[in-house]
Amino acid sequence: MRVLFVAGHTAGACYPLVPLAQAVRLGGHEVFVAGHEDVLPVVAAAGLPGVAISSRTLSDFLVDRGGRTVELPEPGHEHDLAVGRVFGRFAADGLDGLLALVRDWRPDRVVGVATAYAAPLAAHDGGVPYVRFATDLAEPVVHMLAAVAELGPELEKLGLYELPAPWRSVSVAPPSLRAPDAAPALPLRHIPYETQSALPPWVHPGQDRPRVLVHDHGETRPDLLEGLRELEAEIVVTGQEEGPVPPGVRAGRVPLGVAVRPGDVVVHRGRPDVVLTCLARAAAQVLLPGDPGLDEHAGRLARLGAARQVGDSAVPGAPVETEEVVAACREVLADPAYGQAAHRLRAEIHEMPLPADLVPLLTEEVVA
């Protein structure tokens, strides 16, 4: 069978999909992963064949169809609508490439990440069953509704009045963390995956001093690292190029999923793939205010006891005092309740079917 996966718009949006795509391939099926050119290195680095459907990038669609630059409003409903429309224009841009690929390669299934709205359209056009792949974290329904509205002209061209419903849905969110309004889906165990690189020896030290890992994907603040040094832990910065860090702090392009171990504490901004990787490794989390839309699952995670939120979580990207982060890390390291909650969520994840278990369900015959 031929299975076409449709990637997300960033590396972080692609990572959770990789284990399933690999598992389908290892099941003996032919797999292609379609995506915008800028995420194809992520696809190739996962050992998967990537096909470009457009060379433009997400930021190109902060311009509306009339060529006017779109200012994103303050967080709230208007913001969600505007972001959804960006995704819609992004999907419209990749649609022709995806339609051509479906026509030429003739896949038997199309599996797309939930935010890749071109996937159900191209699947419908090719008469191919569509599988929706969701993290069900930070995928607000308004994004989807606004994206589909933006895609109105494309739906019209294809003779559609609404987004075609998926044949199957898959979700990697553990049940207790899943958005309460998420659509029913087949559960899939999250397997931590990020682009890999050669590991420095310090990653596997042979002893178990706890780690506080800062996974920020941006400029990591030197003052924060300086402050964390007072903790009884090894301080590690993951997910960034090696740069200047205070003495004794480890840094490198080391995948978080490889460097983090049960009982460690991860400081990050709540991106869904990072949240899931922490849970799969039974690590506790200290959550800084992140992008709009991340506060919802961050709040649920805190209520489940596996994370501590710092700063004003209602204000996306709000600055946080170093002392507050350090104090939160100290508290999480010292209080076994966080680790216990993280272990409970990991146990929940371990109950979910593995990628290889899902392959027969996604490739079985379609009963009309």
Partner 1 sequence: MRVLFVAGGTSGVIFSIIPLAQAARNAGHEVVMAAPENVVPTITSAGLTAVAVTSRKMLDTLLYDDGERRPIPTDLHERYIFNGRCFGRYAGWCLEGLLDFADRWRPDVVVGGTLVFAAPLVARHAGVPYVKQAVDMGEPRTIDLAAAAELGPWLKRLGFHEMPRSDLFVDICPPSLREADAPPAQIMRYIPYSTKGRVESWMYTKGDRPRVLVSAGSRVTPDRDFEILSGLVAKVGALDVELLVAAPADVAEALRPLPDNVRAGWLPLDVVAPTCDLVVSHAGGTTVLGNMHYGVPQLLIPYLPYALGFTRRLTDYGAARMLPPEDDSPENVAEACREVLGTPSYRQRARDVAHEMSLLPGPSQALAAVERLVHTSR
> Quick one: which of 18, 102, 249, 301 contacts partner 1 (CB under 8 A)?
18
- Tokens for 301? 């995670």
Note whether 45 binds partner 1 by CB under 8 A: yes
Note whether 350 binds partner 1 by CB under 8 A: yes
Q: Which is nearer to partner 1, 41 or 319 (CB)?
A: 41
The closest of 328, 274, 310 to 135, measured between CA atoms, is 274
* Least Cβ distance, residue 30 to partner 1 (angstroms): 7
> Quick one: which of 66, 206, 218, 244 contacts partner 1 (CB under 8 A)?
206
Burial 54-66 (b: 16+ CB within 10 A, else e): beeebeebeeeee
The span of 124-132, 225-233, 321-329, 354-362 binding partner 1 (CB under 8 A) equals: 354-362
Q: Give ∠ CA 236-327-235 in degrees, rounded to 5.
A: 10
Question: How far lies 277's CA from each of 98, 190, 194, 281, in Å?
Answer: 30, 7, 10, 6
Q: Which is nearer to partner 1, 12 or 255 (CB)?
A: 255
- Tokens for 62? 């902060």
Note whether 32 binds partner 1 by CB under 8 A: yes
Site residue total, partner 1 (CB under 8 A) = 43
Note whether 353 binds partner 1 by CB under 8 A: no
Note whether 191 binds partner 1 by CB under 8 A: yes
Burial 336-346 (b: 16+ CB within 10 A, else e): eebbebbbbbb
- Name the E strands within 87-204: 109-113, 130-134, 168-171, 186-187
Residues of this chain, 153-182, that bind partner 1 according to CB under 8 A: none
The span of 138-146, 159-167, 199-207, 283-291 binding partner 1 (CB under 8 A) equals: 199-207
What's the residue count for the chain?
Answer: 368
* Least Cβ distance, residue 28 to partner 1 (angstroms): 6
- Give the contact letters, 67-106, x = binds to partner 1 (CB under 8 A), - = no: ---------------------------------xx--xx-
* Least Cβ distance, residue 194 to partner 1 (angstroms): 9
- Tokens for 19? 């284990």
Burial 191-215 (b: 16+ CB within 10 A, else e): bbbbbeeeeeeeeeeeeeebbbbbb
Residues that bind partner 1 (CB under 8 A): 18-19, 22-23, 25-28, 30, 32, 40, 43-52, 100-101, 104-105, 189, 191, 193, 195-199, 204-206, 255, 258, 280, 350, 354-356
